[in-house]
A and B are shown apart, each in its own frame.
Chain A
Amino acid sequence: GENVEQHPSTLSVQEGDSAVIKCTYSDSASNYFPWYKQELGKGPQLIIDIRSNVGEKKDQRIAVTLNKTAKHFSLHITETQPEDSAVYFCAARGSVYKLSFGAGTTVTVRA
Chain B
Amino acid sequence: EAGVTQFPSHSVIEKGQTVTLRCDPISGHDNLYWYRRVMGKEIKFLLHFVKESKQDESGMPNNRFLAERTGGTYSTLKVQPAELEDSGVYFCASSPGTGVEKLFFGSGTQLSVL
Describe A's contact surface by its main secondary structure: strand
A contact residues vs B (CB 8 Å cutoff): 4, 6, 9, 32, 34, 36, 41-46, 49, 89, 91, 93, 96-104
Chain A-chain B contacts (Cβ-Cβ < 8 Å), number:
62
Residues of A within 8 A of B14 (CB): none
Do B100 and A32 touch (CB < 8 A)?
yes
Q: Assign chain B's interface to a size class.
A: 20 to 34
Do B91 and A43 touch (CB < 8 A)?
yes
B44 contacts chain A at the CB level, 8 A cutoff: yes
B75 contacts chain A at the CB level, 8 A cutoff: no
A-B pairs, 8 with minimum CB distance: A43-B105, A101-B43, A103-B42, A43-B107, A44-B105, A101-B42, A99-B100, A96-B99
